[in-house]
A and B are shown apart, each in its own frame.
Chain A
């Protein structure tokens, strides 16, 4: 069966032996796991054995495009990166926009598996069929902007670059991968794993055509999809502020992370919202491949007479670097964003860790001697000081670079009571003590506290924020739809923002691949992947089970002290209710272990024995 829509090849690169191997893409893998996050999950499950050290040579970095990546249809520039996470010890993946994924496909590869480790800094060079592991000594130590500039200057502007910064080189556990002057694969420390393999960057150029099943049909449908986007009401307007445009609304909901997640409303939010961005620093609306609604806001700021550039800050960075650290100036938030991007630190985990450090300092859990100076909320200097130490893993940065969970375990003195994480990965930008579906989404996301899998705040608001019934069902529904985009190589924002109909994707899928899947078939793959990554966690995280699905006690014992959600908290017994409902609907047992019946229904028979499913 000739695969269409796919490049048809899996590339393996060992930077240690400097060898590359090209295997035909297994049609079964494509049929059962689609691509993107699906490939990441399946390849990691099969090829990274339990007990593998995430920073050791047996861990693998998987880079996977989707069957719909790189084509003439809206918003198809996404690519998935994944590895066993050094931050959580469990399954890790992160999605990235820009133009990298399509280029990998034009070069002739659906996925790249980086296995082994190099003794010396290197980068992976790919130009169609030419694959080389090249020396990167002169790039090692450079920030992501300088690295991208250097590689493009040497190789050509038409190369797409993905690189790590000093944070990934030095082993910060939440290091990200950067691309195209401001896009990242941010979460779970995939950048850290590249750093452990001494792979500084990938530089890719491709010239090949992607063969599709019905080129004329695909062209007609692609045109129809773009025209449908253009015809949506408010099509032009919604994207002027990008995701920063939701800042005020989240504050009105009382769900804005403020002062290390101690409350849900930030007094200074209007100074760091989307309008502030447009008024003070915006330069260009910047988009990913084939996206009709570019959410990227490329900005230029000036601080102390020095100019800097950053793509952002987008909502998550405004939340975690702004409200969470009490920075009430958009230029300062943008600068903190720029520092994270250049050093290669995930702005979400980075902002959460810095916020946690500031609260620990305030409470006397850590002191000026350990930190090296006084630090406080609302002070950009404190923030930059901590970020730089984290990237170099120096002084207090050595502990902070390990994430809030390990810091809290190391410091004790009550820190574990409020460390903002689930499963060891820090919360993203929604304070959820008055949003049961959102809290449950954070509790049950496979990679830790991230909103990518399910974002349910409007659902909570629409059906009742105090209600618990029906919340689990909604979270599960979203956890199948949203990550499906990650498997197809698409961005979900057109659906989220302008209600671009999901049926369009179901219609074009067979025109591209020749595989006659319905939307329900595609969702079925998503459910399979969600159970597979749950099983990965059971195999890889010692003692994994229900206990790993809860946040720290602050998040179910302490009522929100201020703002629109003042007085609200979802108590432990209610979280139990939500989790029980969720496990039942998922076909998992009371410990959250997928049942044998569920696994077999999803074609994951081999997993039954792997995790002792009953």
Chain B
């Protein structure tokens, strides 16, 4: 699975954020989503979605090796995390998230829920598309 944002389709509805938090944490709280919709207003008047492309910079930055690659995605081990937040700083896309409820930062684990529920088709699995799925 390769999560990708397609330009020009996002309506800013944030169903992806709401769905993500429900899928990962079981909570009604878009502030716990592992992706973020960003609006550019008043000009040019478009949206984009910051998504994790599993580049691994966070894992490299982690001084205690609390971030590891599992099944094609990078994951934070909350128990080993010391809360230094170097991974947040290192993330080139600003998609390592923190929330006051949680000691460890969290990130996208490629569950694909956002892809399924984006009403506009703005989030896609690029690998599936290439396979012609």
Contact = CB atoms under 8 A, between A and B. Distances in A.
A and B touch in the complex (CB under 8 A): yes
Interface of A: 70-72, 99, 102, 106, 145, 149, 157, 180-181, 206-212, 215-216, 218-219, 222-223, 226, 229-230, 283-294, 296, 298-300, 307, 309
Contacts of A299: 45
Contact of B19 (A72, A102, A284): A72
A443 to B, nearest CB: 36
B42 A309 contact: yes
B42 A284 contact: no
A229 B13 CA distance: 15
A148 to B, nearest CB: 8
A288 B13 CA distance: 5
Contact of A181 (B21, B26, B30, B41): B41
A286 B12 contact: yes
Contacts of B18: 71-72, 290
Contacts of B101: 207, 209
B46 A283 contact: yes
Contact of B11 (A72, A149, A216, A294): A294
A218 B45 contact: no
B19 A287 contact: no
A210 B119 contact: no
Interface in B1-56: 11-15, 18-19, 21-23, 26-32, 38-39, 41-47
A292 B38 contact: no
Contact of B29 (A180, A208, A219): A208
* Candidate in B19, B28, B38, B43 with the most chain A CB atoms within 10 angstroms: B28
Given A72-B21, A145-B42, 4 more contacts: A207-B31, A223-B117, A230-B119, A284-B11
A241 to B, nearest CB: 14
Contacts of B120: 285, 294
Nearest to B42: A309
B29 A181 contact: no
Instruction: Give me the 7 closest cross-chain CB pairs, A-B, nearest first.
Output: A292-B119, A287-B11, A294-B11, A287-B13, A209-B29, A72-B18, A210-B28
Given A209-B32, A212-B28, A226 B119 contact: yes
Interface string B60-104: 000000000000000000000000000000000000000111000
Given A222-B22, A226-B117, A300-B45, A287 B100 contact: no
A106 B46 CA distance: 25
Contacts of B119: 226, 229-230, 291-294
Contacts of A296: 11
A482 B38 CA distance: 32
A283 B9 CA distance: 11
A157 B15 CA distance: 18
Contacts of A230: 119
Interface of B: 11-15, 18-19, 21-23, 26-32, 38-39, 41-47, 99-101, 117, 119-120
Contacts of A157: 38-39
A181 B42 contact: yes
Contact of A72 (B22, B31, B42): B22
Given A207-B100, A293-B119, A226 B15 contact: yes
A229 B101 CA distance: 33
Given A229-B119, A230-B119, A289 B28 contact: no
21 contacts: A71-B18, A72-B19, A72-B21, A99-B14, A157-B38, A180-B41, A207-B100, A209-B27, A209-B29, A210-B29, A215-B28, A219-B22, A226-B15, A226-B119, A284-B45, A286-B12, A287-B13, A292-B15, A293-B119, A294-B120, A299-B45
A289 B46 contact: no
Nearest to A98: B12
B17 to A, nearest CB: 9
Nearest to B9: A285
B108 to A, nearest CB: 17
A309 B45 contact: yes
A215 B28 CA distance: 8
B29 A216 contact: no
A506 to B, nearest CB: 19
A68 B29 CA distance: 13
Contacts of A212: 28
B26 A283 contact: no
B26 to A, nearest CB: 5
A216 B14 contact: no
B2 to A, nearest CB: 22
B44 to A, nearest CB: 7
B13 A292 contact: yes
B99 A207 contact: yes
Nearest to A152: B41
A72 B46 contact: no
B13 A289 contact: yes
B11 A286 contact: yes
* Most chain B Cβ neighbours within 10 Å, of A72, A157, A288, A290: A72
Nearest to A299: B45
Contact of A219 (B15, B26, B31, B39): B26
B28 A70 contact: yes
A608 to B, nearest CB: 40
A230 B19 CA distance: 15
Contacts of B30: 102, 106
B11 A218 contact: no
